[in-house]
Homo-oligomer: A and B are copies of this chain.
Amino acid sequence: MAAGKHEQEIEVRGHLIDSMILTRIFDHVMDLKGDFQVLEFTVGKKKKDPSYARLLVRGKDEEHLERIIEAVYREGAQPVSVQEAMLVPASSDCVMPDDFYSTTNNPTQVFYAGQWIQVQNMMMDKCIVVDTRSKTAECKMIRDLKKGDMIVVGERGVKITPQERPREGVDIFQFMSSSSSSERPTQHIARKVADDIYNTKKQGGKIIVVSGPVLVHSGASEALARLIRMGYIDGLLAGNAIAVHDVENALLGTSLGMHVRDGTLAVRGHRNHMQAINEVFKAGGLRAMVEKKILKSGVMYECIKNDVPFVLAGSIRDDGPIPDVVTDVVEAQRRYKKVLKGARMVLMFSTMLHSIAVGNMLPSSVKVVAVDISQPVVTKLVDRGTAQAVGIVTDVGAFLPIVADHLEKMARHRQ
C-alpha cells in the first residue's frame, strides 16, 4: 500500500523507438533501481508515424520517485496531467535559487499560466527566467541574472523535445551518423561538406565559422578567405592568434616566422609575430589597417571588406593581444552569442577552446561540423559540444581547399 503512493503516470510521444527515447527512459528507471509498468503502448504502424507510451513509474519512496521522474522528464516524458512550472525569484544578482532547473540544449517549453511557453535563446547548463507579464521565457547565463528574476525551479512543468535522429536527408549528418572517423574517403567528405554549405546557404541559412590558428600555418586560411569572399560565411568566432597569424601572413608572408607559401623559415622570422601585433597597434586596429590599405588580404581583411561580423575572444596565452580582441571573457561570450543567434550551421576548424565554448552556446538543432587532425579533440567536441555534431578527423590544410574548390566549381556550373 505504501508503494502505491510512490508512483506516477507519465506519457511520451514521438519516434520513441527510432530515436531511442523509450530506450533512454527505460535506462533511467533501471539505472535508478526504480520500477515501471507499461500501461499503454502504440507503436507507429508505418515508419513515419509517431509512437505513444503511457507508463506507471514507481519509486521506493517519494524522494526516490522524484529522482526518477526528473530523469525521465529530461527525455521528453511528461506527467499525464500537466502541472504548472514553479518560479522562485533570484535573491540577488548572479544567484539562482537552490533548486533551479538546469537546462539542456534541446527545445524546451515551460507550462506557465495555463499555457506552454517556448524558451528563447536555448543553451545548455543555464537557468530559465520567465517574464510573468509578457508570458515569455528565456535561457540566461548566471552572470546576467538580476535580483528578482523569476527562475524555474524543480522539474515540473518543463517539457523537452529531444532531437530526433535525422533520417530522410542526404547531408553530411545523415551520412556520417554522428560518428567521427579518420577512415573515410576524405575527398568525398570534403565535397559533401561543400554541398551542405551550398544548400544551407541556398535556403537562407546562417553559417558561422569557429577557427584556430592552425588554419594559417597549414595554408588553409586562403581557402577560408575564398569562402568568405563567395559569401558563404556569416560570422567568424576566434581568438587573438588566428588574427595575428593572418596579419603576419598578409604583411610578411609568414606565420610564426614560417613562409606560408613554402614552409621555409624566414630570416629573423621570430620577430614577425610581434611585428604583426605592433603594426595592428600602430594602426589602431584591424579595421583601421584595412581603411589605411595596410591590410590588403587574408581572412580578417575579407571579413571586414564583406561586412562579416567577427569576435576575437581573449585568452591567457595571447601575445598582445591586439586592440580588436575582447579581453573580458564574459563580454566575449555575450558577443559570441549575438553572432551565433539564428545560425543554421557552424564549422569548427582546429580549435578545442573556442569550439567547446561555441558548442555550449548552441541549441541542439544547429548543425555542427568539427574538423581536426586529432581524434581525441574531435571526440571531445562531439561528446561535450552537442550530440548533433559531426567530427571529421583530417588535416584542415588539405581539407578546406578541397571544400573551397568544390564550391567554386558549383558556382561556375550553376551560373
Contact = CB atoms under 8 A, between A and B. Distances in A.
Interface of A: 17-18, 20, 22-23, 26-27, 29-32, 35-38, 41, 43-47, 67, 70-71, 94-96, 98, 100, 102, 104, 125-127, 142-143, 167, 175-176, 182-190, 192, 214, 217-220, 239, 258, 260-265, 267-268, 270-271, 273-275, 277-278, 281-282, 313-321, 323, 327-333, 336, 353-354, 356-357, 360, 373-376, 379, 393-395, 397-399, 401-402
Contact of A175 (B218, B261, B263, B275): B263
Given A190-B398, A398-B190, A281 B95 contact: yes
Contacts of A102: 270-271, 274-275
Given A186-B398, A189-B263, A395-B399, 6 more contacts: A20-B23, A38-B43, A142-B274, A315-B315, A315-B353, A393-B395
28 contacts: A18-B26, A18-B27, A23-B23, A32-B267, A38-B45, A41-B43, A71-B267, A96-B278, A98-B278, A125-B273, A126-B274, A142-B278, A184-B218, A184-B258, A189-B263, A192-B262, A239-B316, A314-B316, A315-B357, A316-B329, A373-B373, A373-B394, A373-B395, A376-B376, A394-B395, A394-B397, A395-B398, A398-B402
Nearest to A31: B265
Contacts of A393: 373, 395
Nearest to A91: B282
A278 B95 contact: yes
Contacts of A44: 38
A263 B320 contact: no
A188 B315 contact: no
A188 B262 contact: yes
Contacts of A31: 265
B18 A23 contact: yes
Contact of A46 (B37, B316, B402): B37
Given A278-B142, A314-B330, A316-B329, A187 B36 contact: no
A29 B327 CA distance: 41
A354 to B, nearest CB: 6
A30 B185 contact: no
A391 to B, nearest CB: 12
Contacts of A183: 214, 217-218
